[in-house]
Amino acid sequence: MGEETLEAVFEEQRPRLFGLAYRLLGSAAEAEDLVQETFLRWRQAGRADVPAAWLTRVITNLCLNELASARRRRESYAGPWLPEPVLTGDGALGPLETVEQRESVSLGLLVLLERLSPAERAVFVLREAFGHSHAEIAAMLGLGEAHSRQLHRRAREHVGAARKRFDADRGQHRRIVERFLAATLDGDVAGLERLLAADVVAWADGGGSTAARRPVRGRLRVLRYLGGLSLRPEAAAVTAVIAEVNGEYAALLRHDGELRAVMAVEVAGEHVTAVRTMVNPDKLAFAAAQLV
């Protein structure tokens, strides 16, 4: 292939490759780096009989190599580790038209995938999010088809009972997120108490900053935790908007024009069951760039 043709073929595949790498790594920055590395290898190869399959195999194996070192880094991470948030309203992670597609990029599921071995995670994502057959997955990862099935079964068992299925009512989800955000910013304790589920959990990823170092569990503890946010000196200057983040509605909090936090709110029925807040500046960089 000529240089222009190589680039054109790759650019057609780029969004899918980024979506795959992000699901495997939970990091938009690392996913971008590996997409670029895949492009360099594609240029060196010069051609492939089935470009999509070749590119998928290369980036998947690059991610597998990265996952081993990423796990060691996350084990020593200061406080709760959460995936990097990605704004998905513009299709940054591919089509999210169905409940299953939105679930495949949800922060809750990506956290659960951290329980899996790199091979289990790769098989799970390739099968569940991208619909590859076990024969295709086996060829990509260099293993037997029976082994691929075994890894997929183990992955589903590990994620299993803890996996939260999405509510199909998007309008209701947004309304509850809006009420939650207003009550949090206004310090409306009674309003928050009505919204929070009894077993609600709040995580905050600050990368070692002043964010809570451990998950906050239970309605009363989460209520005190959220109530304290409105009392901070900078709270009055915070502006907030609702946006789609990782397939779910979330609050984007800005201060002095800069994105300072992304607060993702998980909802079941009429109640908030989980709050995941990213305040680590490094992890907000990709989402901030999307807003420019």
CATH of residue 76? 1.20.140
Sign of torsion over alpha carbons 217, 191, 262, 245: positive
CATH of the domain at 223: 3.10.450.50
Of 113, 135, 162, which closes a domain? 162
Alpha carbon distance 284, 270 (integer Å)? 29
Q: Tell me: do 145 and 191 sit in the same domain.
A: no
Of 140, 162, 184, which closes a domain? 162
* CA angle 286–120–20, rounded 5-degree value: 30
Alpha carbon distance 64, 140 (integer Å)? 12
pLDDT tens digits, 30-58: 999 999 999 999 999 887 889 999 999 99
Can you give the pLDDT at residue 165? 61
Share of the chain above pLDDT 70, in %: 94
Question: What would the mean pLDDT of 73-89 be, rounded to a whole number?
Answer: 88
Q: Is the pLDDT of residue 237 over 70?
A: yes
Of 162, 185, 218, which closes a domain? 162
Q: Tell me: do 134 and 45 sit in the same domain.
A: yes
Q: Tell me: do 150 and 9 sit in the same domain.
A: yes
More confidently predicted of 9 and 70: 9
User: How many domains does the chain divide into?
Assistant: 2
Q: Tell me: do 98 and 242 sit in the same domain.
A: no
Can you give the pLDDT at residue 210? 60
Question: What would the mean pLDDT of 256-272 be, rounded to a whole number?
Answer: 92
pLDDT tens digits, 153-201: 999 998 876 666 666 588 999 999 999 999 998 889 999 999 999 999 9
pLDDT tens digits, 59-72: 999 999 999 888 77
Q: Tell me: do 149 and 8 sit in the same domain.
A: yes
Q: Tell me: do 220 and 139 sit in the same domain.
A: no
Q: Tell me: do 54 and 133 sit in the same domain.
A: yes
pLDDT band at residue 236, thresholds of 50, 70 and 90? confident
Alpha carbon distance 16, 210 (integer Å)? 36
Q: Is the pLDDT of residue 209 over 70?
A: no
Q: Tell me: do 18 and 118 sit in the same domain.
A: yes
pLDDT tens digits, 112-129: 999 899 999 999 999 999
Highest-pLDDT range among 73-77, 78-82, 255-259: 255-259
Q: Is the pLDDT of residue 76 over 80?
A: no
Alpha carbon distance 291, 60 (integer Å)? 28
Alpha carbon distance 18, 33 (integer Å)? 9
Name the residue range of residue 243's domain.
170-291
Can you give the pLDDT at residue 143? 93
Helix (H, G, I), strand (E, B) or coil at 26: coil
Residue 119 burial (10 A CB sphere; 0-12, 13-18, 19+): middle
Alpha carbon distance 204, 266 (integer Å)? 14
Interaxial angle between packed helices 145-159 and 134-141, expressed in degrees from 0 to 180 and rounded to the nearest 10 = 100
Q: Tell me: do 75 and 43 sit in the same domain.
A: yes
Q: Tell me: do 131 and 261 sit in the same domain.
A: no
User: 70: part of which helix (H) or strand (E)?
Assistant: helix 51-75
Q: Tell me: do 228 and 207 sit in the same domain.
A: yes
- For residues 250 and 257, the answer to whether their CB atoms sit within 8 Å is no
Can you give the pLDDT at residue 46? 80
Specify the pTM: 0.91
